[in-house]
Amino acid sequence: MPTKSKPKKKAATDVVAPVTENAAPPNDRADRRDPYQFVTDTILRHLEEGVVPWRRPWSREVGKPRNFHTGKPYRGVNLLLLGLRKFASPFWLTFQQVKALGGSVRKGERGSTVVNWGQFTPKQDDTDSQAANGRRKSRFYLKEYIVFNAAQTEGIEFPPIASAAPMPKSKSVEVAEQIVANMPQPPLIMQGQRDMAAYKPSTDTVFVPPENSFASIEDYHLTLFHELVHATGHESRLNRKTLVEHDGFGGKVYSQEELVAEMGAAYLGLEADIVQDDHLNAAAYIQSWLDVLREPDHKRWIVIAASQAAKAADCVLGIKPPTIDEAKP
């Protein structure tokens, strides 16, 4: 759970006007909406309504949101943004992709925002230190795209949705155990040595209480997933800054790392069809994240944590992460 910080207004999840697909660098568009703030405001709005978006980032019955044109699933924060829309189809397209496939967007439909990293090189008149030393480097910035769900289009034939039936409890437990057993280069896992779950980077050890000390076997596996996500940040794995530069319980870096672990555990849980019960979205838990994410200088946290959580889940699952354009529609 994050540290409580000191104590913006919510933005709609959807927008009417399409955003250009060739967004300019931030300094070229003074009136450009801040995509970091948009994402944070969207997540805050759902937290204020009692919904923790990363607890159930997508529906197994529908499947992970994916771009129909490229066939690639959306990742990171886009998984949250599109999952929150609750459409019955996993397929999404940009306006231009809909047109290219001979279809159209139904009149009155509103698109949904996704984000992607853009790249630009500073102008020749840039006066920063890099430019002065003749070492102009490309910089990354966040840009927005608008996509439409298959249910919002017409004139395109989409394949049937291969719905995944809910797993029996015994199967979920089996899959969760396989995920842990098959993790490449795993940390040492010590069960029953302590009464609290924890990850100790200095010895690369995960401590988890015995299964019978949890309210359910599902809670046990979600807790273990949480600690394994922490372990992916070890310098021998992803070398994640929020883990290796840990500032102690309650610190700013600690809270960022906790957000990564919370999201990563949820991603892994859905692989085994394990989702934390909604009644466990305790008011204190939600309020703690509201306090943290409302801080003006924390507006990048959701975007960065969701990306890091996806990489962490891939690390546990032994999946090679995609390149920087992972979120491109």
* pLDDT tens per residue, range 240-283: 999 999 888 878 999 999 999 999 999 999 999 998 765 455 78
pTM, entire model? 0.83
For the ranges 165-169, 297-301, 325-329, which has the lowest average pLDDT? 325-329
Res 97 pLDDT > 80: yes
- Is it the case that residue 133 has pLDDT exceeding 70? no
**CA-based nearest residue to 92, from 117, 109, 67:** 67
* Per-residue pLDDT, 10: 35
Q: Which of 247-251, 271-275, 287-291, 322-326 has the weakest average pLDDT?
A: 322-326
- Which pLDDT score is estimated for 139? 80
Q: What is the pLDDT of residue 4?
A: 41
Residue with tokens 């207004």: 9
The whole-number pLDDT of residue 1 equals: 52
Flag the least confident range among 16-25, 70-79, 128-137, 248-257: 16-25
Instruction: Say whether pLDDT at 177 is over 90.
Output: yes
CA distance 266 to 16: 31
Give 75's Cβ-side CA count (13 Å radius): 23
- Encode burial over 296-319: b for 16+ CB neighbours within 10 A, e otherwise: eebbebbbbbbbbbbbbbbbbeee
DSSP element (H, E) containing 80 = helix 76-83
Where helices occur in 154-216 by DSSP H, the ranges are 169-181
pLDDT top residue among 211 and 14: 211
